[in-house]
Amino acid sequence: MFKNIYILAAVIFFSIHLTTYAQEKKDTTKLVSPAMSFVTNHTIVNGGKTINYTATASETYLKNDKDEAVASIWSVAYTKQNLTESSTRPVTFVFNGGPGSASVWLHMGMFGPSLVKVQTDATEDDGAAPYRLVKNDHGILDLTDLVFIDPVGTGYSRVIGKGKVEDYWGLNEDANSIAQFIRLWISQHNRWFSPKYIAGESFGTTRAASVANTLEGGGQNMALNGLILISQALDYAGSTSAHDNITSYLTYLPSMAATAWYHKKAGIGKELESFVQECRSFTYDTYAAALYKGSLLSETDRDHIAERLSYFTGLDQDYVLRSDLRILMPRFQKQLLAYEGLSVGRLDGRYMGDELDKVSEGPHLGDPSSYQISSAYTASLNHYLIQTLKVTMDRPYLTSNRSIGAKWRWRTVPDGKYWEPSAPNVARKLAETMKRNTSMKVMVANGYYDLICPFFDAEYRFLSQ
């Protein structure tokens, strides 16, 4: 009898356990809640015209081949009101880079209708709140509608349901998801006849070229009218400062010269343009050949190259020689103002940071041009979403997500297919797209003091294709 009771108890226990497990398992694949959308109306003056526009901050669900929602893309769209032919008005899709960055920087720093006021001359740290928002009187809403996109894992965008981050955190995967979003947005808003543009920054230019290429396929060919590449990074050989990467020693040098000129460590008494041009000529005509000669370079020639590098960078000639004529960007950031105990910024070499560790190899506190303004952008974007766009969400807006970069998949071919790792390069993709879509225009914008995506790399990249 007791034996039967034990057996019955065991059956009941396992039945309850299995039922609970099944319920827990079911909960992990519960139905996705409806997508959120917040709509407000506004007015602005751009291009001398008063523009009445609608702001739509919303989620768009991406679906898999089983019609299941697997990812949520957050976007903020600004569309002009009272149009007789809205279906033919230009629309520009905007995103930043990273990978792992939301669109906050171009949204609140360049293209959005409200901008955060920061010290654009790099003279002050913007510190803690309060901050100030200003109307973007130089915006382009008189010319085009704008759609700011946050890729999966940034902003409010995320995987949902049965979605997996590995389906989005990769060069090809990312391009596929953004292309899918663009097609959905165009279809939902009847904009197939609208001229279509993409504006991207840094890795966002890598993404822009990949998306333009991806939009040509998938059985739903969409031709773009133009790309705006801000701080282009099409070939990472030219925008990755690392040992043994000869291309980067060349592409970064003119940016070092411009930054040294700005801090009055080089080119004293010269105009910036003429000093930079002098550095361009040296890089092309002399420095490239010297680097490729390597140890075959004579001692006399080595001393001459070191003297010229010191002249352009403002660094001690002895330091240049000890660097084997190859100066990594983090070392330049630390060494240029080392005697003042300062490091210079990476996103913008005009910024300076007071270093706690005066002898570290590179800036140990991070990038002054990032940490001195990022809190202002984060606070302003959150304030703007809540106060102006009336957004209420149950999760934080991630302006950046560093875990994405650590897990990013740079592989460009499927698993199981032979592939040798190399610097990511989408320049050929862009060239192919431009050959097929001969009416697509490309605008490239770079800054002299950008020490991540050097302007000389953009010049070299586009002139060499």
Per the structure, the complete domain to which residue 356 belongs is given by: 241-371
How far apart, in whole angstroms, are the C-alpha atoms of residue 211 and residue 213? 5
Helices 272-282 + 246-262 axis angle, to 10: 160
In a domain, 350, yes or no: yes
Phi-psi region of 143 (alpha: psi -120 to 50; beta: other; left: phi over 0): alpha
Residues 155, 291 within the same domain: no
User: Please, which pLDDT band fits residue 8 given cuts at 50, 70 and 90?
Assistant: very low
In a domain, 9, yes or no: no
Query: Is the pLDDT confidence value at 78 over 60?
Result: yes
Residues 248, 137 within the same domain: no
Please report which residue ranges of 368-454 form alpha helices under DSSP H.
368-371, 374-387, 402-407, 427-436
Residues 323, 412 within the same domain: no
Residue 99: half-sphere exposure toward Cβ, Cα within 13 Å: 23
Query: Token pair for residue 175?
Result: 């391009």
Share of the chain above pLDDT 90, in %: 77
Residues 86, 161 within the same domain: yes
Instruction: Choose one of 346, 371, 396: the last residue of a domain.
Output: 371
pTM over the 0.95 mark: no
How far apart, in whole angstroms, are the C-alpha atoms of residue 59 and residue 185? 11
In a domain, 92, yes or no: yes
Query: Is the pLDDT confidence value at 14 over 70?
Result: no
- List the single range of 196-205, 249-258, 339-348, 370-379 with lowest mean pLDDT: 370-379
Instruction: Choose one of 371, 391, 423: the last residue of a domain.
Output: 371
Element (DSSP H or E) covering residue 327: none
Contacts of 158 (CB under 8 A, 6+ apart): 71, 72, 152, 395
Nearest to 204 by CA among 158, 247, 150: 150
Residues 407, 288 within the same domain: no
How far apart, in whole angstroms, are the C-alpha atoms of residue 151 and residue 204? 10
Nearest to 454 by CA among 339, 329, 337: 329
Instruction: Choose one of 371, 387, 414: the last residue of a domain.
Output: 371
User: Please, which pLDDT band fits residue 24 given cuts at 50, 70 and 90?
Assistant: very low
In a domain, 17, yes or no: no
In a domain, 14, yes or no: no
Nearest 5°: phi and psi at 392?
-130, 110
- List the single range of 152-166, 335-349, 365-379 with lowest mean pLDDT: 365-379
Place of tokens 């950031």: 333
Task: Give the pLDDT confidence of 90-146 residue by residue, as tens digits.
Answer: 999 999 999 999 999 999 999 999 999 887 777 766 778 888 999 999 999 999 999
Residues 306, 448 within the same domain: no
How many domains would you assign to the chain?
A: 2
How far apart, in whole angstroms, are the C-alpha atoms of residue 334 and residue 241? 14
Contact 58, 87 (CB under 8 A): no
Residues 182, 274 within the same domain: no
Count of C-beta atoms within a 10 Å radius of residue 13: 10
pLDDT of residue 114: 96
Task: Give the pLDDT confidence of 265-310 residue by residue, as tens digits.
Answer: 999 999 999 999 999 999 999 999 999 999 999 999 999 999 999 9
Residues 430, 449 within the same domain: yes
- List the single range of 41-55, 137-151, 325-339, 370-384 with lowest mean pLDDT: 370-384
Query: Token pair for residue 374?
Result: 């990022």
